[in-house]
Chains A and B, each alone.
Chain A
Amino acid sequence: MSIPVVIIDYGVGNLFSLKSSFSAIGQTAVVSQNPEEIRQAERIILPGVGAFEDAAKKLNDSGMAALLDERRKAGIPIMGICLGMQLLFDRSFEYGEHKGLGFIHGDVRPISEIVNPELKIPHMGWNALRKAKNHPLLKYVNEGDCVYFVHSYSAVNCEDAVIADCEYSAPITAAVASGNVMGCQFHPEKSGNIGLSILRAFCEIKGDEL
């Protein structure tokens, strides 16, 4: 039996709002750390808040990293959210240098290295999306629609994968995609109707569109 959406539970952060936001768009989402359940997922969400190193370690130690790689190769749409998006990249420079999942090429670096030093860190609040590509994940999003960000690190050196960015004295990577792997730096589950429309679009994505 297949499960429409599985939200991966690997011990970081609170998944209540994320699960509720799928209910709000009429989708069944199961929060799980069970490999058998995750193998039944038609789509996978990789959430995450907190520190990169700790989260990457939890993914590796639990065997989740290998399982995600298996599902990725099976063509299952996977979307990382916030730290979950950052984990999709090759490596992060958050307190040292740490390896990510490597599903999308690029690095994660402190926002303070990119933006005007007078700006506040974290980059927190509602910022307007600028589409870099037409991607099915953003099919309901209009140029300039605002979404909610909270982050101190940002994906860089990933120009090919960027499907939307926003402006914070410099371009900040907002959404990425590479094949069936996608990611949002912002929180769609906290971005009102625009955010819900992105989750709906993710649920409507078919393998042959990617």
Chain B
Amino acid sequence: MITKRIIPCLDVRDGRVVKGVNFEGLRDVSSPVALAEYYSNCGADELVFYDITASAEGRKLFTDILTETASKVFIPLTVGGGINTVNDFDRVLKCGADKVSVNSGAIRNPQLIYDAARIYGNQCVVLSVDIKRVGGEFRVFARGGRDDTGIEAIGWIKRGVDNGAGEIVVNSIDTDGVKKGFDLEMLSAVCKAVNVPVIASGGAGCIQDFIELFNALPGVDAGLAASIFHFGEVKISELKEKMQEAGIPARLV
């Protein structure tokens, strides 16, 4: 049976890993290549590199780092951030990325998912969605969680899958950075709506949060987190052992 994946996310700006708490107050952590190698050796099942660079120089630095990482780390690599066109897919896939995650780019141009899926295959297109509760509904937020788009999230995700998104990252703004567990209610709604892999993001504070996630929602395929891994609050090797003890299929290295 397919194991449940544990995915550290590395936010990269100007060649360095940073992590925001509630998307603000970025803190410097480490070298992306060194961190990626470390995580791969610890048993991370996949890595997400998220490019939060704004400048052209920073973007070049990001693709250089991506290339170096992909030549040293042999687990699946997903890249997101600044993906607005099919050319952006091409740019990062050539540097060794396996999957490309779209978020604001798909909100600006929903056709992007369809176009990319036709060229690179559904398995290559990840739809990442930042979701917050507004007036009793799940609402899609854009620009790193700053702008309320007014779009209802579950319908948005369904349309994304219909257009060819092969995987969904659900990032709950409501639980992000709070470290009191994943947003099980929001994730449950997404799992009921689609039959592609669902990655939970936002809210993990300890090992038990991952155990609860996978026990409560068998439809969730992976758990994604950043700072708790970067700062060693959760060690991936230990997390995997605890998952296995709890009867959750996990890949041990």
- B230-253 contacts to A (CB < 8 Å): 251, 253
Tell me the nearest residue of chain A to B167, going by C-beta: A124
Tell me the nearest residue of chain B to A146, going by C-beta: B251
- A6-54 contacts to B (CB < 8 Å): 14, 16-17, 20-21, 23-24, 49-50
Contact present for A148 and B3 (CB under 8 Å): no
Interface status of B74 (Cβ within 8 A of chain A)? yes
Q: Which residues of A contact B75 (CB under 8 A)?
A: 148, 190-192
Contact present for B94 and A14 (CB under 8 Å): yes
Give A116-147 as 1s and 0s: 1 = Cβ < 8 Å from B's Cβ atoms: 00001011111110000000000000000010
Interface status of A196 (Cβ within 8 A of chain B)? yes
Interface status of A150 (Cβ within 8 A of chain B)? yes
Q: Which residues of A contact B2 (CB under 8 A)?
A: 123-127, 149, 168
Q: A16-B95, A127-B2 are in contact. Are A24 and B166 (CB under 8 A)?
A: no
Contact present for A17 and B253 (CB under 8 Å): no
Q: Which residues of B contact A168 (CB under 8 A)?
A: 1-2
Q: Which of A23, A150, A190, A193 contacts B253 (CB 8 A)?
A: A193
Q: Which residues of A contact B197 (CB under 8 A)?
A: 120, 124-125
Contact present for A190 and B251 (CB under 8 Å): no
Contact present for A125 and B74 (CB under 8 Å): no
Contact present for A195 and B74 (CB under 8 Å): yes
Interface status of A167 (Cβ within 8 A of chain B)? yes
Q: How large is the interface on B (under 10, 10 to 19, 20 to 34, 35 or more residues)?
A: 20 to 34
Q: Which residues of A contact B1 (CB under 8 A)?
A: 127-128, 167-168
Interface status of A189 (Cβ within 8 A of chain B)? yes
Tell me the nearest residue of chain B to A150, going by C-beta: B123
Tell me the nearest residue of chain B to A199, going by C-beta: B74
Work out how many contacts link A and B, with CB atoms closer than 8 A: 78
Q: A122-B123, A124-B197, A126-B5 are in contact. Are A24 and B251 (CB under 8 A)?
A: no
Contact present for A20 and B71 (CB under 8 Å): yes
**Closest Cβ of chain B: how far from A144's Cβ, in Å?**
9
Cα-based distance from A195 to B76 in the complex (angstroms): 12
Q: Which residues of A contact B195 (CB under 8 A)?
A: 120
Contact present for B93 and A21 (CB under 8 Å): no
Interface status of B196 (Cβ within 8 A of chain A)? yes
Residue among B40, B75, B94, B122 having the largest count of chain A Cβ atoms under 10 Å: B75
Number of interface residues of A (CB under 8 A): 30
- A141-178 contacts to B (CB < 8 Å): 146, 148-150, 167-168
Q: Which residues of B contact A167 (CB under 8 A)?
A: 1
Contact present for B121 and A148 (CB under 8 Å): no
Contact present for B96 and A14 (CB under 8 Å): yes
Q: Which residues of B contact A195 (CB under 8 A)?
A: 74
Cα-based distance from A182 to B96 in the complex (angstroms): 25
Cα-based distance from A199 to B101 in the complex (angstroms): 29
Cα-based distance from A191 to B72 in the complex (angstroms): 13
Residue among B1, B3, B221 having the largest count of chain A Cβ atoms under 10 Å: B1
Cα-based distance from A178 to B78 in the complex (angstroms): 34
Q: Which residues of B contact A20 (CB under 8 A)?
A: 70-72, 74, 96
Interface status of B152 (Cβ within 8 A of chain A)? no
Contact present for B74 and A190 (CB under 8 Å): yes
- A94-134 contacts to B (CB < 8 Å): 120, 122-128
Interface status of B98 (Cβ within 8 A of chain A)? yes
Q: Which residues of B contact A21 (CB under 8 A)?
A: 74
Contact present for B3 and A189 (CB under 8 Å): no
**Closest Cβ of chain B: how far from A58's Cβ, in Å?**
16
- B38-61 contacts to A (CB < 8 Å): 40, 45
- Return 12 A-B CB contacts under 8 Å, by A number: A16-B67, A20-B96, A120-B197, A124-B2, A127-B2, A128-B3, A168-B1, A191-B75, A193-B74, A193-B253, A195-B74, A196-B74
Which 8 pairs from chain A and chain B are nearest by CB?
A125-B2, A20-B71, A146-B251, A126-B251, A16-B96, A126-B3, A150-B123, A190-B76
Q: A127-B3, A196-B74 are in contact. List 14 more A-B contacts (CB 8 A).
A: A16-B96, A17-B70, A24-B74, A120-B197, A120-B221, A124-B2, A124-B166, A124-B197, A126-B5, A126-B45, A127-B1, A168-B2, A193-B74, A195-B74
